[in-house]
């Protein structure tokens, strides 16, 4: 069976996600002689966000800022942290279960006054 463009029908779909995550739906098309089910899956990622933190700490004393990481997707996350800059410390890996918020403990311990 070969179809040409006259046999095709456009089905416009508008999708406006509220947040990041995996969205699934089914579209059921029925006629008197045919039934078809189309499954659609859309994965929405957040934009690359930047943040800035300012730490005020006495010299040689550590301060810890817990950074919340919310997982609004449908799967668990295993995240790797890459810290750049002198005096910053934190765990190299953090797990965030689906639908939960985990706190990443970022520590700043200055070695000199600056």
Dist. CA 109–CA 64, nearest whole Å:
9
The number of distinct structural domains making up the chain is: 1
Instruction: Encode pLDDT of 50-73 as tens digits.
Output: 667 777 777 788 889 999 998 888
3 vs 96, which has greater pLDDT? 96
- Residue 93 and residue 104 in contact, taking contact as beta carbons nearer than 8 Å: no
95 within domain boundaries: yes
8 within domain boundaries: no
Instruction: Encode pLDDT of 2-15 as tens digits.
Output: 666 667 778 888 88
Dist. CA 20–CA 43, nearest whole Å:
8
Q: Indicate if the pLDDT at residue 96 is higher than 80.
A: yes
Report the predicted TM-score, pTM, of the whole model to 2 decimal places: 0.55
Supply the range of the domain harboring residue 69: 63-108
29 within domain boundaries: no
94 within domain boundaries: yes
Q: How far is CA 21 from CA 8, 41, 42, 70, in A?
A: 31, 10, 8, 11
86 within domain boundaries: yes
40 within domain boundaries: no
85 within domain boundaries: yes
Instruction: Encode pLDDT of 18-32 as tens digits.
Output: 887 788 899 998 989
56 within domain boundaries: no
Q: What is the DSSP letter of 69?
A: E
Q: Indicate if the pLDDT at residue 1 is higher than 60.
A: no
Dist. CA 102–CA 63, nearest whole Å:
19
The tokens describing 41, both together, are: 């899956």
Q: What is the pLDDT of residue 97?
A: 93
């Amino acid at each position: 069976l070969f179809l040409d463009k006259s046999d095709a029908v456009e089905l416009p779909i508008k999708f406006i996600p509220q947040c990041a995550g995996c969205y699934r739906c089914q579209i059921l098309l029925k006629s008197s002689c045919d039934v078809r089910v189309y499954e659609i899956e859309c994965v929405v990622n957040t934009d690359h966000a930047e943040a800035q933190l300012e730490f005020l700490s006495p010299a040689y004393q550590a301060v810890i800022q817990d950074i919340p990481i919310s997982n609004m997707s449908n799967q668990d996350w295993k995240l790797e942290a890459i810290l750049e800059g002198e005096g910053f410390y934190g765990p190299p890996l953090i797990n965030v279960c689906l639908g939960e918020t985990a706190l990443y403990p970022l520590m700043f311990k200055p070695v000199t006054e600056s």
